[in-house]
Amino acid sequence: MARIHIMAGAGDKLDMPVIRTINMADLGEVLRSGIADFSAKPSHYVLLMLIYPIIGIVLTIWMNGFHTWPLLYPLIGGFALLGPIAALPLYEISRRREAGEDPGWGDAMAVFRSPAIGSIMAVGVMLFVLFTLWLTAAQALYEGLFGSSPPDTLAGLFTQVTTSPEGATLLLVGTALGALFAIVVLCTSVIAFPLLLDRDVGAYVAVETSFRAVLYNRVPLFAWGLLVGFGIFLGSLPIFVGLAVVLPIFGHATWHLYRKLVEPASVIRGM
């Protein structure tokens, strides 16, 4: 029964949320709302999100020590793939602010006591598997073009990529491959975690609802995916420190995007 609850939610029948259509102007509105949430008490969120720049710095040191620089670009892309998991406490902060509360650090952590934590973990495992597959595919692509002996430095990698035909192939094919993984993540999880925090609908419904949201709003949501990816890339440039601002803003904005896309619980489509 626990497994069924995780996949299908706590109710007797599937709660299939109704999707709204949005436009490009709505993206600006949700982004402004995300900035407003971040600005309300930025100290909480900067402290919370500093863990991700720290992880990035540690990974950079690891790559320098073990000469795994070819994985730098895939790892930066990986922040976009795992971003929905990283932003879980931020969705909770936005949810509580929306309800008129004045949330703090402890409230952000309350997300891990959610009744839907099993479903949240199930979707999180799916994203982690996609992240692992992305790194594996990126490593296989690099070794297929350059062999199994990576350069010792980042400068060496830059020279290797920019001065050879194989480097151009790596950039083109690698970017296309990363875009494919990003599209899969966008379609399956763009609003999955906010939905699970708001309504314990189960992992299947959360993923299916995200897919329908993208299907019905292809242009604005693909634009949203590009915006998030570009923002994370910029935030990663100064040794990942910019993620302490970028991730909270997009995390909060994603909660408001969910509110734009999904009708309230009282509006349900039977199945």
pTM above 0.85, yes or no: no
Distance CA 202, CA 4 (A): 8
3-state SS, residue 201: coil
What was the pLDDT predicted at 61? 55
Q: Which domain holds residue 262?
A: 2-7+15-269
3-state SS, residue 146: helix
Query: 181 near 130, Cβ under 8 Å?
Result: yes
Per-residue pLDDT of 5-50, as tens digits, reads 566 655 556 678 999 999 999 999 999 999 999 888 775 555 555 6
Query: 203 near 123, Cβ under 8 Å?
Result: yes
Spatial CB neighbours of 16, under 8 Å, sequence gap ≥ 6: 205, 208, 209, 268, 269, 270, 271
Angle between helices 72-86 and 218-236 (to 10 degrees): 120
Spatial CB neighbours of 188, under 8 Å, sequence gap ≥ 6: 123, 126, 207, 210, 211
* Domains contained in the chain, number: 1
Total count of residues recorded for the chain: 271
Per-residue pLDDT of 5-17, as tens digits, reads 566 655 556 678 9
What was the pLDDT predicted at 220? 97
State phi, psi for 199 to the nearest 5 degrees.
-145, 125
Residue type, 257: L
Higher pLDDT: 213 or 3? It is: 213
Higher pLDDT: 15 or 201? It is: 201
- When pLDDT is cut at 50, 70 and 90, the band that residue 1 belongs to is very low
Is 70 exceeded by the pLDDT of residue 192?
yes
